[in-house]
């Protein structure tokens, strides 16, 4: 059995390959299946990590950013293919929310725990997500 705390760098990116990154994740991850207006529309399910566990490989200059409502979350997506492979969440503005399906091998974990996050009522529930980007 693998040590639950051991991190492994895994690669991911957008559909066309312009945006590429790597992210350090443990063998057991929690992903947020959020029902807010934008996550529901694109069926975004993501894992939140601190910035120290995210490294650019290429494509930072290819990103376009969309914001709405409080304009705190930075919804970054590839300007070529439109895929949002990660974004900066309102709950953890010092970290990143990496789209689980945009990892090269999203099933390559011992366990993937799906949290159903009620983003429709974000203000009431944000505490549950706070500090997920802490080192
Ligand atoms: Zn792309």
Q: Does residue 44 lie within any of the structural domains? A: yes
Surrounding residues of ion ligand 1, Cβ less than 5 A: 14, 16, 18, 78, 80-81
Q: Does residue 3 lie within any of the structural domains? A: no
Gap between the Cα atoms of 40 and 118, Å rounded? 11
Q: How far is the CA of 80 from the centre of ligand 1 (A)?
A: 5
- Do the bridges between strand 75-78 and strand 8-13 make them parallel or antiparallel, or are there none, so unpaired? unpaired
pLDDT at 126: 85
DSSP state of 23: E
Q: Which CATH number does the domain housing residue 124 bear?
A: 2.170.150.70
The pLDDT tens digits of the residues spanning 3-45 come to 556 899 999 999 999 999 999 999 999 999 999 999 999 999 9
Q: Does residue 134 lie within any of the structural domains? A: no
Q: How far is the CA of 89 from the centre of ligand 1 (A)?
A: 20
**Residue 118, CA distances (Å) to 33, 54, 56, 95, 126 in order:** 8, 25, 30, 20, 9
Arithmetic mean of pLDDT, 83-98: 94
The pLDDT tens digits of the residues spanning 108-117 come to 999 999 999 8
Q: How far is the CA of 47 from the centre of ligand 1 (A)?
A: 20
């Amino acid at each position: 059995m693998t040590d639950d705390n051991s991190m492994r760098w895994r690669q991911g990116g957008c559909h066309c390959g312009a945006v590429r990154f790597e992210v350090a994740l443990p063998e057991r991850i929690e992903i947020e299946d959020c029902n807010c207006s934008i996550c529901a529309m694109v069926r975004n399910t993501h894992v939140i990590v601190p910035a120290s566990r995210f490294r650019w490989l290429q494509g930072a200059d290819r990103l376009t950013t969309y914001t709405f409502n409080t304009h705190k979350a930075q919804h970054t997506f590839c300007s070529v293919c439109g895929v949002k492979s990660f974004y900066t969440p309102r709950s953890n503005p010092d970290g990143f929310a990496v789209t689980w399906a945009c990892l090269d091998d999203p099933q390559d974990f011992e366990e993937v725990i799906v949290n159903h996050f009620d983003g429709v009522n974000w203000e009431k529930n944000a505490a549950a997500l706070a500090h997920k980007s802490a080192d």
